[in-house]
Amino acid sequence: MQRRSIPHTQSMTGRRDILLGLGALVSCGAAPVVTMTEKDTPACDSGLKPGGGDRQGKFDADGKPRFWPGNTIICPFGSSHPLAQAMLDMNTLIQRDWSAYITPTPPSSYHMTVLGGVDAEQVAKANWPEGIRTTTSITDTTPIIRDRLAVKRFDFPDKIEMEIDADRFHAPLVGVPLRPSSPAMATSLYDLRRQLAEVIGFHPDNLMSFMFHATYGYKIRHVPRSLKDVLRREVHSWRRDYAEKLGTIIVPAPVFCSFETMFAFTPLLALQRNI
């Protein structure tokens, strides 16, 4: 892969400044809010949209995943998890009514993203880990980042508690917007993102504005305006129902993973927690 020279980025914001800023952001018990419209991608997933939809080259026109390598830190949950069981309703709905526009995520790859790592989107943003040559392939960054994470311990809760954020009306319609269950939980999770970014040597542009989420589908082409209101009503009804039914959701601990497509994530390292 051909790479352009990546400019030197400024040093990471200090822990004290970040946590002071978070105190104001989470005073109402919600995660930081990013203003967007539904045509936009969430803070976790931005970039070019070739051929419509939000596939960014990740899928072909038929919804089949293309080779799109990278690494990430996620909280994976199996198909028996309460949130996965709820997401299966959306999986069924997509396959029945919306497969021309959305390809459903296989339940085996359901997860909540904590911090995205190196992938084509970050390369396009000239966002590259410090201390790794820019001529290194995306795939070859994975063992380097794994080794950096393996020698560190991180501060994060024993139980990561989330809620479906049914009030986040403008969240994209292909996923579940999630918010930390309390101001303290929000502070912990956003600080975990800071810790991870510092260890990786990474400077994501959405470090403190990221929307936690779980994805049940990927758009492969734009939904026509004449149909979008129908999809919107179905999605928001589902979110409201399951926000009430599930209440607080406990997701598993974070794991560093690699991937070759958006449909399969290979666990490489469970993060070590400070006790």
Q: What pLDDT digit, counting tens, does each position of 93-118 carry? A: 999 999 999 999 999 999 999 999 99
Compute the distance between CA of residue 83 and CA of residue 175 in angstroms, rounded to an integer.
Answer: 12
pLDDT bin (cut points 50, 70, 90) of residue 45 is very low
Can you tell me the distance from the alpha carbon of 173 to that of 190, in angstroms, rounded to the nearest whole number? 24
Within 13 Å of residue 196, how many CA atoms lie on the same side as its CB?
29
Q: What is the architecture of the domain spanning 67-273?
A: Alpha-Beta Complex (3.90)
Model confidence at 48: pLDDT above 70? no
Task: List b or e across 252-267, with b for residues whose CB sees 16 or more CB atoms inside 10 angstroms.
Answer: bbbbbbbbebbbebee
The residue count of the chain comes to: 275
pLDDT-based confidence at residue 133 (cuts at 50, 70, 90)? very high
Q: What is the mean pLDDT of residues 215-233?
A: 93
State the maximum Cα–Cα separation within the chain, in Å, rounded to a whole number.
53
pLDDT of residue 57: 86
The model's pTM is 0.81
* Cα–Cα distance measured from residue 187 to residue 262, given in angstroms and rounded to the nearest whole number: 29
pLDDT at 205: 85
Average pLDDT over residues 59-79: 94
- The residue type of 269 is L
Residue 204 has what pLDDT? 87
C-alpha dist (Å) from residue 50 to 60, 70, 174, 263 = 10, 19, 18, 19
Q: What is the pLDDT of residues 6-24, one digit of tens each?
A: 444 444 444 444 444 444 4
Beta bridge partners of 154: 273
Average pLDDT, the chain: 85
- The structural domains of the chain, with segments of one domain joined by +, span 67-273
Per-residue pLDDT, averaged over 19-46, amounts to 41
pLDDT (0 to 100) of residue 55: 52
Q: Name which of 41, 62, 198 is nearest 129 in CA terms.
A: 198
Mean per-residue pLDDT for 205-226?
93
H or E element that contains 51: none
The backbone region for 29, taken as left when phi is positive above 0, alpha when psi lies in -120 to 50, beta otherwise, is: left
Mean pLDDT in residue range 25-44: 40
**Residue 88 Cα distances to 36, 80, 95, 104, 182, angstroms:** 26, 10, 11, 10, 27
Question: Tell me, what's the pLDDT at 36?
Answer: 39
Which stretch of 41-50, 172-181, 227-236, 237-246 has the lowest confidence by average pLDDT?
41-50
Whole-number pLDDT of residue 56 = 73
If we measure between CA atoms, which residue out of 260, 8, 10 comes closest to residue 126? 8
Query: Average pLDDT of 163-174?
Result: 93
Structure tokens at 169: 């009306």
Is the distance from CB of 123 to CB of 3 less than 8 angstroms? yes
- Which one has a higher pLDDT value, 5 or 180? 180
Conformation bin of residue 263: beta by default, left when phi > 0, alpha when psi is -120 to 50: alpha
